[in-house]
């Protein structure tokens, strides 16, 4: 006989399992990562994730059913965003847990960044403290729309494909901490490589906007900057 206690437990864990089921596909985890940078249309997400629009849409529907993302109509397009900041914090915690428990995460990451200078990422508290105190030039090399959606306070926005032409915007007498979408993003690696060749003292910062939010720190937006 099923007791009320057992029925309660079954129903609770069934609901918790909905989140786990929603993240059972690697592509859906990647889509959450991309949405941590800001709202995106289905078409943009499909391109970022290297999949078809139809496939991306199906994955997003699963995430939406688990209340992890929300959708809204923007003209002829459907735009998705994370349902709340706690979803971003959850993703950062998931990434951290996988990195600490699965040696394969570090192995795959090191193998990919080897020879690209990316293994020199600086993510320690010392650099983070200097960033927060404004002692280094913080460079956001993501696309401009991601910067507008949210960025580290006082960061300078120069997308990586524009960096070579806009180097004069960066003071040479200050260290540069370049960041992009987090520890698996190569854009900051490319930026640091270019900056060092041009004589700058530059480091890649592993933390991105989701990591900033996960620590409870303020994330600036283009709307604030325009005031």
Both tokens of residue 133? 């105190």
| Rounded distance between C-alpha atoms, residue 155 and residue 22, angstroms | 34
Claim to verify: residue 191 and residue 135 sit in the same structural domain? yes
Q: Residue 111: its pLDDT value, please?
A: 87
Domain assignment present for residue 48? The answer is yes
The residues facing 139 across adjacent strands are 156, 178
Domain assignment present for residue 92? The answer is no
The residue count for the chain: 227
- HSE, side-chain direction, 13 A CA sphere, residue 86: 2
Contacts of 173 (CB under 8 A, 6+ apart): none
Q: What mean pLDDT comes out for the span 183-196? A: 93
Count of structural domains, the chain: 2
Encode pLDDT of 76-89 as tens digits.
Answer: 999 999 999 999 99
Check if 185 is active-site: no
Claim to verify: residue 153 and residue 212 sit in the same structural domain? yes
Give the predicted TM-score (pTM) of the model. 0.88
Contacts of 132 (CB under 8 A, 6+ apart): 217
Claim to verify: residue 122 and residue 192 sit in the same structural domain? yes
Are the C-beta atoms of 20 and 13 separated by less than 8 Å? no
Which residue among 180, 195, 209, 214 is the active-site one? 180
Encode pLDDT of 128-176 as tens digits.
Answer: 888 888 899 999 999 999 999 999 999 999 999 999 999 999 999 999 9
């Amino acid at each position: 006989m099923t007791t009320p206690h057992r029925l309660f437990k079954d129903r609770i864990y069934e609901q918790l399992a909905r989140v786990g089921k929603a993240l059972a596909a690697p592509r859906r985890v990647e889509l959450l990562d991309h949405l941590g940078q800001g709202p995106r249309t289905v078409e943009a997400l499909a391109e970022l994730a290297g999949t078809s629009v139809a496939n991306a849409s199906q994955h997003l529907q699963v995430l939406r059913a688990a209340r992890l993302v929300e959708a809204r109509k923007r003209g002829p397009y459907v735009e998705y965003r994370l349902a709340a900041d706690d979803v971003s914090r959850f993703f950062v915690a998931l990434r951290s847990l996988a990195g600490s428990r699965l040696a394969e995460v570090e192995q795959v990451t090191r193998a990919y960044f080897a020879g690209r200078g990316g293994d020199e990422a600086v993510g320690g508290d010392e650099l983070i403290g200097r960033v927060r105190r404004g002692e280094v030039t913080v460079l956001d090399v993501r696309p401009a729309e991601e910067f507008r959606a949210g960025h580290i306070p006082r960061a300078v926005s120069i997308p990586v494909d524009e960096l070579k032409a806009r180097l004069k915007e960066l003071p040479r007498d200050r260290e540069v901490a370049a960041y992009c979408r987090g520890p698996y993003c190569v854009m900051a690696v490319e930026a640091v490589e270019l900056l060092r060749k041009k004589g700058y003292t530059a480091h890649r910062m592993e933390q991105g906007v989701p990591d900033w939010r996960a620590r409870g720190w303020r994330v600036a937006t283009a709307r604030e900057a325009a005031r």
